[in-house]
Structure 1
């Protein structure tokens, strides 16, 4: 009998279709309303019941699902691994597609926003923010993008760099450094000539204070790792003494060229 699963207790485990094909034909029985019964439906019912009995195809599949909660990845059935991988890949594809749609809609919305007001430039924050708004508005006139989109992107870059740098992300810290340098350059370009130095100094101080959080834990000191040696040297002197082999019996008189003195 063909089988689609591993043997159970030394016996072949028939599949649902095998059980269905092995069943004897069931004679049609009339229904209560007088219509003839369906033979295929009766066979399906019988095969369904047999498959859920102990050792049946569906019974084994349910046991594998129940045991997968306590088993390792290598002990889980192959069909469960394939289903989990397929479901995970499908979820990743859906998430990437949704993220792409959200990003596209956000960029289109920023581009459609009318030009933001330049502000009055009052206060400490206005001294730093007003030149940046003026610079972005002037540059957007030569680009196919709204000034509000440039300003929103500038704000988003600073926020991502600040939050990501606080959690120690290297890429976010690089973005934070580029954000600060570009902000100083824009302020220098758009600030009034008389107060340009004060605006740059004030912006640099604000950036330095915010860098306490964005560059948290960053140090310029070299890190020295003192690890114990992985090997141990034990000097020792080994002397090998060679013991000569004993002379054979009857050769006590020495070498052959020496003869005893004869009288």
Structure 2
């Protein structure tokens, strides 16, 4: 079995299994785990941890992994990290699925709750929603209390998630508020429908201060300095050949005129 270790000082590095083959043979002991076999294993272990040994090189690669880039890390360390990361992701997805299943099952098993008498400021907004969900649950295979608990959970997730800037939570918060206003408008008696809906809209607007924190409708303008553009200056170059000046006493030679 060949080793993939890099040569140190021009010599081939032996892996852990090749060390066993190159050690001096030990006479077989009468017992399977006799002192001779243990000494041979002990010598192989020490030789592997010496400079240039298999385990020594692997330990050096582990120490260098903290200071080099991903492409320079040893392949076996990359494989171990990828395998551990994938295993962690699978465990997290499995746990998230179990939590979601238990939550939905718990919402379905919530006992029926009283719709309340609708008194008070909060009852003016909350009571129409309870009545609307109870009427709709009569045509659905789910308890009214489960629908009301899910409505509350959606609002809580949208409020908390929107406060931390999550885009999906903010969308859920907008749908939660719009649906709540629609339920209040359709269930409240005609005499107080506008007042109850307006009161709910004000409450939703005040809560949106936290859920939509930092959201702005102003366009974002990015001012970037102009990039450097090379400038070209075209020029025309003319090459002419001038005749040598004539010396005194030489006859003029007009056979070779100047060339452009």
Asked if these proteins are the same fold (TM beyond 0.5), I'd say: yes
Which residue of the partner structure matches residue 199 of structure 1? 196
For 2:118 and 2:63, the matched residues in 1 are separated by 67
Are 2:28 and 2:37, in contact at CA under 8 Å, matched by a contact in 1?
no
Q: 1:226 to 1:36 in 2, by over 3 A?
A: closer
Question: Out of 90, 94, 97, which is 1:93 matched to?
Answer: 90
Per-residue displacement from partner, 1:65-116 (whole Å, max 9, x unpaired)?
2232333323322111111111111111111101111111111111111122
Q: How many residues align?
A: 252
Q: Which runs of 5 or more residues in structure 2 are unaligned?
A: none
* Per-residue deviation, 1:125: 1.1
Which shifted more, 111-120 or 46-55?
46-55
Aligned-pair CA distance for 1:244: 4.2
Is 2:51 the partner of 1:54? Answer: yes
**Relative to 1, partners in 2 of residues 1:124 and 1:44: Cα closer, same or farther, differing over 3 Å?**
same
Compared CA separation, residues 8 and 195, structure 1 to 2 (3 A): same
Tell whether the 8 Å contact from 2:13 to 2:52 is kept in structure 1 after alignment: yes
Q: 2:88 matched to 1:75?
A: no
State the alpha-carbon separation in 2 of the partners of residues 125 and 205 from structure 1. Answer: 12
Change (3 A) 1:2 1:140: same
Superposed CA offset, 1:200-249 (max 9, x none): 0100111111122222233333334444433469797x664646432476
Residue 23 in structure 1 maps to residue 36 in structure 2: no
1:1-263 alignment, distance < 5 Å: 2-29=2-29, 37=34, 40-231=37-228, 240=236, 242=238, 244-247=240-243, 252=252
Structure 1 residues without counterparts, runs of 5 or longer: 257-263
TM-score of the two chains, using structure 2 as the length reference: 0.84
- C-alpha distance in structure 2 between counterparts of 1:40 and 1:243, whole Å: 92
C-alpha distance in structure 1 between counterparts of 2:4 and 2:253, whole Å: 91
1:134–1:190 CA contact under 8 A, matched in 2: yes
- How far, CA to CA, are the matches of 1:232 and 1:21 in structure 2? 67
Whole-angstrom CA distance in 1 between matches of 2:70 and 2:222: 37
